[in-house]
Structure 1
Amino acid sequence: MQNFKKIVILLTLVFAFSCVSKKEIVYFQNDEIEQNLVSNSYKTVLKPDDLLQITITALDLEAAKPFNLPAVSYLTTTDRATGTPQQQSYLVDNNGEIDFPVLGKIKIGGLTRTEAIEFLRKKLDPDYIKNPTINIRIANYKVTVLGDVNKPGTYTIPNERITILEAIGLAGDLKITGKRNNVFVMREVEGKKIKYEIDLRSNKIFTSPVYYLQQNDFVYIEPNKASSQDAAYNKNRAFYISVGSIILSLLTFLTR
């Protein structure tokens, strides 16, 4: 009986130490916020596979019309347009180029939105349009949150500005078993995949280069060791139950 009590105490201690502590789950508990390094400025950089909506307006509507082609579908039998005309979208190819009306192939990949607008303005003014107003929007701006969160998935961001905390909020926050100190962000920069690691428990997140996410960023939350072990256990639940039953029977027999 004495051996049985010792085993129960040992198992209780193991369980207690395996529980998640407060230090592992509370956000922003470490380090001071370095206010001089915090920046609210954010620049959207145009990249391959971005689907752009570009609107050109001017006082001379006729001059701007060729640069705002509608996207329509046609009936094969009558060659007539059907449906409601929508704004044409332009896909940035692997070379960072789009095929734009009248101007043809132009390279805007790698430019910020402001730089791309200024680039187009110089192309159009004064040869085609005088004092054009140009708006560029990424129609397929999205981020993906995977791993130990409540709602993993890909999220479309209409305003093209999102922080990593907002993205985690969209994904329903981390599960209790998610590692707060091991959050990874995968980002493509000039054709190369770059991996960033951040700690949600630290206030240094506010000065991280991935605090503001960019289009097509991947956020991955790693499960903690206990969660991984539990997943492995669940796969072999029947085996462990059988082994546990045998051990319990032996202990009962030995302590009689």
Structure 2
Amino acid sequence: MLPNLIDNIMQYINMRLLHFIIFTALVFIATSCSYKQNQLLFQTKQTTATDTAQQAKPTPYRIQSQDALQIRNLQNVRYIIDDGPSSSVSSGSGSGGSGSGQTYQVEDDGTITLPVLGHVQVAGLTRPQAAKLIEDLYRKNLLKDPIIELKVTNLKVTLLGEVKSPGNIPLLKDNITLVEMIGQAGGLTTGANEKNIKIIRGKGKNQEVHIIDLSDLRSVSDPRTIMQNGDIIYVAQNKRAIRTENLQNLNTWVQPALLIINTALVIFTLTRQ
């Protein structure tokens, strides 16, 4: 009677194990197959009261010490000044090659050293203000009709999470939006949650976290999405991607466990014969 009881128990265990294996396999197949993410970007929603954060205008970046400024005169793309020598101009902290302008580092006192002009105070100015100041000084002292282009080349934004090319992206012009920055990173992945995009802005006590919902059409005009130097963008995973990842983690230990159980059952069956 005891052998019959053991056989019945073993048959029951085998049946339950088979059901568990089939169920696990079906769930794994259902969640692991490739699918096209149906991201609901820029959908129109009913108008509600405007958030006070959305009313705030973005603060323009002001030049600081240690910033790197790329400056060139568009009237002559080779030099910052038309009367420059036949080789690339280099003065003080300036450097750079032909056609791309010169790069000057803002010193601790807030000045840069420019050809002919000498030390020019630029710290505290916005990029357009600094460009106009240098343009006016060259027009007054040397050039007839200079057109000065100025870029702050050390500014950047960091993209993390569910974007195709995460990393640091230079912030070379004013008023770049979150959508443009994500586009430069190759766009969202299929595992991205377009309703939960975080912009981490500022440092220390002044740090803020803004949650942006790109499924809302109004996010395009949200001033919080104007990128600022040092912003960190984090794109969270959607629920399906999280489930798939959790199931894959589960399978890393379930499959070895099933293999051990199956081996033990085979050994037990052989010893019963």
Structure 1 residue runs of 5 or longer lacking an equivalent are: 73-82, 251-256
SS at match of 2:43: coil
The CA distance in 2 between the partners of 1:240 and 1:93, in whole Å, is: 60
Instruction: Give the 3-state SS of the residue equivalent to 1:54 in structure 2.
Output: strand
1:189-244 C-alpha deviation (Å, 9 max, x unpaired): 9x965433211111221222243334554322122455456546656754231234
1:243 to 229, 252, 257: 257
- How far 1:32 moved relative to its partner? 4.8
Give 1:1-256 correspondences, 5 Å limit. 25-32=39-46, 45-48=61-64, 50-56=67-73, 65=83, 70-71=88-89, 87-92=101-106, 96-121=110-135, 123=137, 126=140, 128-129=141-142, 133-138=146-151, 140=153, 142-156=156-170, 162-188=176-202, 193-224=207-238, 227-228=241-242, 230-231=244-245, 234=248, 237-245=251-259
Q: How many residues align?
A: 234
- Aligned mates of 1:233, 1:125 — CA distance in 2: 67
Q: Is the partner of 1:172 in helix, strand or coil?
A: coil
Deviations 1:149-201 (A, max 9, x none): 22223344666663322222232222222221221223459x96543321111
- Maintained 8 Å contact 2:138/2:146: no
8 Å contact from structure 2 (residues 198, 209) kept in 1: yes
Percent identity between matched residues is 24
How far did 1:52 drift?
1.9
- Alpha-carbon RMSD across the aligned residues, in angstroms, is 5.2
* Counterpart Cα distance in 1 of 2:248 and 2:27: 22
Tell me the CA shift for residue 109 of structure 1.
3.6
Could you say if the C-alpha distance between residues 3 and 30 of structure 1 is closer, same or farther in structure 2, counting changes exceeding 3 Å? farther
Q: Larger % of helix: which?
A: 2
Query: Is the partner of 2:223 in helix, strand or coil?
Result: coil
Q: Structure with the greater relative contact order (CA < 8 A, sep ≥ 6): 1 or 2? A: 1
TM-score with structure 2 length normalisation?
A: 0.57
Name the structure with the higher strand share.
Answer: 1
Q: Does the CA contact (< 8 Å) of 1:24 and 1:180 recur in 2?
A: no
Shift of 1:107: 3.6
TM-score (norm 1): 0.60
Change (3 A) 1:70 1:187: farther
User: Which residue type is aligned with residue 70 of structure 1?
Assistant: S
Q: CA deviation at 1:90?
A: 1.3
CA distance in 2, matches of 1:179, 1:143: 20
Whole-angstrom distance in 2 between the partners of 1:217 and 1:71 = 34
State the Cα distance separating 1:91 from its structure 2 match.
Answer: 2.3
Structure 1 residues 55 and 218, CA, compared in 2 at 3 Å: closer, same or farther? Answer: same
Query: In the TM superposition, what whole-angstrom CA distance separates every residue of 1:89-145 from its partner, at most 9, and x where no partner exists?
Result: 11235665433345444442443333223333555564x247653413316365432
Q: Which runs of 5+ in 2 are unaligned?
A: 1-11, 91-96, 265-273
